[in-house]
Amino acid sequence: MLTAQDTAPAMTAAQFGKLSQIVHSDTGIVLSEAKRGLLVARLSKRLRALNMADFGAYCTLLDSDRGKEERRHLLSAITTNVTAFFREGHHFDALARDVLPQLIARAKAGGRVRLWSAACSSGEEAYSMAMTVLDAFPDAAQHDVLILATDIDPEVVARAESGVYPTDTIAAIGGQRLRKYFDQQGDSFTAKPALKAIMRFGELNLHQPWPFSGTFDVIFCRNVVIYFDTDMRRSLWQRFATVLSSDGALFIGHSERVDGPAAQQFRITGATQYQLVTPTSPSH
């Protein structure tokens, strides 16, 4: 029996070059020649859905008036969504121990508190942030506290907003916390309204203009820039510096480091944990 990979059409070097250029310009993700097979496998499903015979027709579609919408499907196909609840747990420990006490005091005094999961994937990171906040500040929803969760992939954003997770993904939450924040429905668990009350979800491309004007006190952007080239990675660090409030916290992936010009604006406060020390935008 032939597999889907066996029946997948060939992708020429020119077609791979065009597609990888679109991916890079739209997302900053670099696809090396070694990723051609992966791209073929991922996009063959789109060809079948569109009833297209080859990648030449697909490239033509991307250049047409319908190409803008199809680019969203292209990006959904190639983005990697590896995530888990409380992944790299030391970050959530640091959030609770080092960052939240000051933010909670500000919120209780009537101030504004904002956290951002900047590549939220299917939402496990953002919900882990929300549980950490509510563990420390159960009344957060009665104050001006909000977690923004965004991702470039509209499909995973929709899954995140639904707040529904299969049983095999929730083990890291723990029994008591799971009962507190999720309702079981058959073989899945759904985030309770009290958890979602301090969360907002949206589609956002980190390399395009950001649709907000306020600053953030905490940004999680983990295991994302490893896919970017040097210029785009360093540009993103600088943009984060402009939207972090004074002394704001930035959490990044275990194999990532803030580098380039923005490195002078951050100090390391823990394992892949940074604090803005030279803000380039007004604080609250």
DSSP code per residue over 102-133: HHHHHHHTT--EEEEETT-TTSHHHHHHHHHH
Q: Which of 113, 128, 214 is nearest to 165 (CA)?
A: 128
- Annotated binding residue at 223? yes
Q: Are 276 and 246 in contact (CB under 8 A)?
A: yes
CA atoms within 13 A on the CB side of 229: 13
- Annotated binding residue at 205? yes
71 is catalytic: no
Query: What is the rounded CA–CA span in Å between residue 196 and residue 174?
Result: 18
Task: Find the Cα–Cα–Cα–Cα dihedral 64, 70, 72, 78, rounded to 10°.
Answer: -110
> Terminal CA-to-CA distance of the chain, rounded, Å?
62
- Annotated binding residue at 51? no
42 is catalytic: yes
- Annotated binding residue at 70? no
- Annotated binding residue at 61? no
- Annotated binding residue at 83? yes
- Annotated binding residue at 87? yes
Largest CA distance in the chain: 67
Identify the DSSP state of 98.
I
Name the catalytic one among 151, 153, 159, 177. 151
Name the catalytic one among 42, 46, 112, 239. 42
- Binding-site residue ranges: 81, 83, 87, 125, 151, 205-206, 222-223
* Known binding-site positions for S-adenosyl-L-methionine: 81, 83, 87, 125, 151, 205-206, 222-223
Catalytic residue numbers, as ranges? 42, 151
